Structures are given as C-alpha cells and as structure tokens.
Structure 1
C-alpha cells in the first residue's frame, strides 16, 4: 500500500520518512556505491527540505519496503541543478505539468525471498505499485509528464515493467561510478493500464490519509501542543502573506489539513485512553 507524504502531512509520518531515508542509504550508498550524503544511517539531501512529495510503500506491519520522491521542475530539482551535464547544454524542462521522479528504491534484501514476482511482498510488485501510484498521483494534479534521472540498470527495469521512457533528454553521461541518463515518461491512463496488467495490480494502491495516520502515523512525535502551535503560527503567516487567490486557497487548504489531522489525533488518543 502507498502513503503519500508531503509538506502538509509530513508531521504525521516522521517515523516512515526516517525509515525511507535509511532505506535510501542502504540502496544508494551501500549497494550502488553512489556518492550521497549519509548521516547517522540516513541518506538525505537539500531537496528533501523543499517539501517534496514522497510516495512510500509499506507492508502490513508498517515497514517501508520502497519509495519515490517527486519534485516540481519549476523549482530546484536534480536534473537542472545536479545532473545538468546530461542535457549537453540544452535547458532543463521547466513546467508545472512536468514533475521530476527521483530516488526510486526498493528493499530488495527484505523482498528477495518471495517466489512469485506478482506476490504483494515481491520486488516486482512493490516497484510496479510505486510506479502506478506516481502516475496516478501526477494525473490527479494535472501533470502530464515526468522526467527521471536513471542509470542503464533502472532503464532496463522500466522497460521490463511496461514503464519505459518514451524519449530521452541529452545523452548518457558518466557520473562518478555510474552512467546517468534522463528519461521522459508520460503520465497517462495507457501507462497505468500497462503497469497494472503486467503486475496484476487492481484497485486503489493508495491508503487514504485518515487510515494511514491511524495505522502508521506518529502517535506522539510532532503532535504536542507546542508543535501544533508552531505549525498553526506558520500557516497563519502564510495566510497573511498570500498575494493572490491561488496562494490564499493553498494556505487555507494547509490549515484545513492541519485541523483535520489534529482532530483525528485527539480522537484516536482519547479512544486509546478510554
């Protein structure tokens, strides 16, 4: 099942994010040998401070088995700011309808013992589940395309899963120990259909936020009165600084989501103590 974590609800899921960063460290640093920053066993970079969306795949016990990070191309992103050599001097994509998919990883050590590739705790299933979620999440937001910096191995994985890029930007470029390339993928019903057919995944892959908070949300972290007051103060500042109706609606949505989450926490906490 997939939980989408963003700047609005991240305070509920710090535990899942910590698991995600630990998985990224094991995959990108320990297994692949990428030159990434790892501190206390967690792999993070400055893009994680920009309130990206992280799609997290969890099993029934709440263990993170895979994840992907989504960044807007209208702001800082890895292709434009880190892997720009791939573009061979061409400008990076910049559009609200194009997102960047990064840091796709799966816990192969945990999942490799599964026999059937279509089993829910298999590598193939979790990879396809994340890809379906990313495509559907993007379409819901009006996004038409995604760009992803990948290596040749991931390019082969995408092709095998029915999720091959329809085009590439620039040229494959040596980056340290790996070769990096930039693929373009359309976010479309056709792509989702291919992914679902090959993986035999039917139904909604997302766990709705209310259930996600109740089952896997942090029970005490970031939900103290002091933390909630700080978040409310920040959101009030966003309301006051809104310069147009779009910014005002966004700030109101953030405040509404906070109130919903606070009420759910108080209800759950009260039930626990009754």
Structure 2
C-alpha cells in the first residue's frame, strides 16, 4: 500500500518517512552515482521542503520499497530550475495547480514482478494523490523508455512537453505531463487491474 506523507503526518509514520531517504541513497547515490547531497545514509536535495509530499510504497508500514516526491511547482521546480530546455511552453512551470513528480525509485533488490507491481502502483498513485491535492497536472522528466514502460503501460496517458534530450548517461530524457482526472484511474484499472492503491492518511 502507498501512503502520502508530509510534515503533517511524520509523527505517525516517522520510520517509513526516513526510510524513503535511505532508499533514495541506495538507488541514486550507491547504484547510479548521482552527485547529490547525503547525510547519515539518506539522500536529499533543495526540494525536500515543508511543501513536499511523498508517495511511499511499503508492505510493513516501516520499510520503503518504492517512493516518489511531489511538490507544487510554485514552491520550486526541478524542470524550471535545471532542465527548462526540456519544456517548450514554460507557462506550465508556474501554475499554482501543477505539481512536479521527482525522485521516482524502486528498490532494485526486489524481484522483477514485485518491482513491476510497485511501479504500476506508484504511477496510479500520482493521479490519486493529485486528486487529493487539487492538482490539475503532474509534470516531470524521465527517460522516454521509462515514461512508456511505467506510466503508459499502466494505462496512464501522458502529454510530452518537449523533445527528448541526452542528459548524463541517458540518451533520451523527456519531460511529460499527466492530467489529473478520474478517467486516468479508470484507464489504469482496465489496463493493470489496479485501483485505490493509496492508504487514506491525513495530508
């Protein structure tokens, strides 16, 4: 099950909240050699603020097996600050009802079928969380292959925000937008069989 964590419910989910940062350290620094900040085995950056909401997949309520971060773009936007060349129309980068999804990761030590299930669950959770947060769109950047294999194959429709570019070790990184609407959930349920992947936790 996926919980939506924020500063408002850390006290009830402290172990899970901090374990997602350890998962990020393993997946982004240890495995992919990202040059980002770390402290005490946890990875973080300038977008881990009080405005951030965290989607965390766990089976025991304490161990993070998958995670992603959501932030309102008006409170800081990675695409706007670091990768504006990936977006053709910059208007979407300053809209109050648009959120950005970043730091999408799955525990790479898990078996393939479990990783696939967590990927699909997080993809659907983007839309479920977006509805809770009154967002109209969630934007982000990923390798084009991941956009297709994680989101579109899970039934989540995407709009590309610009052409793909080579960034770092990836030959094709692309920005995309997810419209937040009930129809996305309906399509995802028909495609992957998943529905209501998020636990109801106070925002």
TM > 0.5 between the two? yes
Question: 1:159 & 1:32 partners in 2: Cα distance?
Answer: 24
- Counting matched residue pairs gives 201
Question: 2:30 & 2:106 partners in 1: Cα distance?
Answer: 13
Deviation of 1:65 after TM superposition, in Å, equals 1.0
Stretch of structure 1 that moved more, 38-47 or 25-34? 25-34
| Paired residues for 1:129-148 under 5 Å | 129-148=121-140
Larger RCO (alpha carbons 8 Å, 6+ apart): 2
**Matching of residue 177 in structure 1 with residue 155 in structure 2:** no
Question: 1:111 & 1:34 partners in 2: Cα distance?
Answer: 23
Deviation of 1:164 after TM superposition, in Å, equals 4.2
| Paired residues for 1:103-182 under 5 Å | 103-112=103-112, 117=113, 122-157=114-149, 158-165=151-158, 167-178=159-170, 179-182=172-175
Pair 134,87 (structure 1): closer, same or farther in 2 beyond 3 Å: closer
* 4+ aligned runs moved over 4 Å, structure 1: 88-92
- Consecutive unaligned residues of structure 1, counting only runs of 5 or more, are 211-256, 258-274
Deviation of 1:59 after TM superposition, in Å, equals 0.5
Question: 1:208 & 1:87 partners in 2: Cα distance?
Answer: 33
Deviation of 1:61 after TM superposition, in Å, equals 5.9
> Which residue in the other structure is 2:78 paired with?
78
The two structures have a TM-score, normalised by structure 1, of: 0.66
Structure in which a larger fraction of residues adopt strand = 2
